Amino acid sequence: MKDRSHYGLMDDEGVMVVTPEQAETWLVTRPPAPIMWSRDVPDNEKSHRLAAAMEAGEWDVDRPVEPVIIAKETPTCRAEYCRGGHHRLSAVMHTGKPQRLRVQFYSKPDGYDRAFREKRLREIAEERAAIPHCHVCFWEGTPEEIAAHIPTAHKYEVEA
């Protein structure tokens, strides 16, 4: 997996309906200096191939290796912009219709650095560990639900 620590922390992920207008805003918004990109709206074989799949109803939100990656607004850039998935967003614009995409949002809190990141990731791991969950697949539920879930969902793992 690619190192994304310079993007900040991923704080939201999900499948959402992306309109052509939203896709364009994410693609043409410039990130803050010193990283300056020009308008990046791919209009090539790849973006048209993806658009054709969307229009044919063959688009699978879980097919891409990675979700579309959006940087959330910060004090220095008062808008969200695309950091990954330019061709998919461009394809939405080609179709002219809203499309379902998997999107991840990253943000950099004030004071974000390596130590901040490691501390926050430890906290998140502790928060997750405190919620009752299946030790095999991390499915969350009440202790009773988990006790019932393990022998059925993980029949083979438990027997092995």
Where along the sequence are the contacts to Zn ion (CB under 5 A)?
134, 136-137, 139, 153
Q: Which is nearer to Zn ion, 122 or 155 (CB)?
A: 155
Q: Check residue 142 and give left, alpha or beta (phi > 0: left; psi -120 to 50: alpha).
A: beta
CB of 154 to Zn ion, least distance (A): 5
Give dist(CA 118, CA 107) in Å, integer.
15
| Least distance in angstroms from the C-beta of 158 to Zn ion | 10
Q: How far apart are the first and last CA of the chain?
A: 30
Q: Which is nearer to Zn ion, 10 or 137 (CB)?
A: 137
Sheet holding 99-107, edge to edge: 9-18, 99-107, 68-71, 81-84
Nearest residue to the partner Zn ion, using Cβ: 134
Shortest Cβ 133–Zn ion spacing (Å): 8
Q: How many CA atoms are closer than 13 Å to the CA of 109, on its beta-carbon side?
A: 9
Name the minimum Å distance from CB 141 to Zn ion.
9
CB of 61 to Zn ion, least distance (A): 23
What is the largest distance, in Å, between two alpha-carbon atoms of the chain?
57
**The two three-digit tokens of residue 151, written as one number:** 């022998």
Q: Is the CB of 125 or the CB of 137 nearer to Zn ion?
A: 137
Cβ proximity to Zn ion: between 116 and 139 the closer is: 139
Cβ-based nearer residue to Zn ion, 64 or 141? 141
Residue from 23, 9, 11 nearest 100 by CA = 23
* Structure tokens that stand for 121 in this block: 């990731």
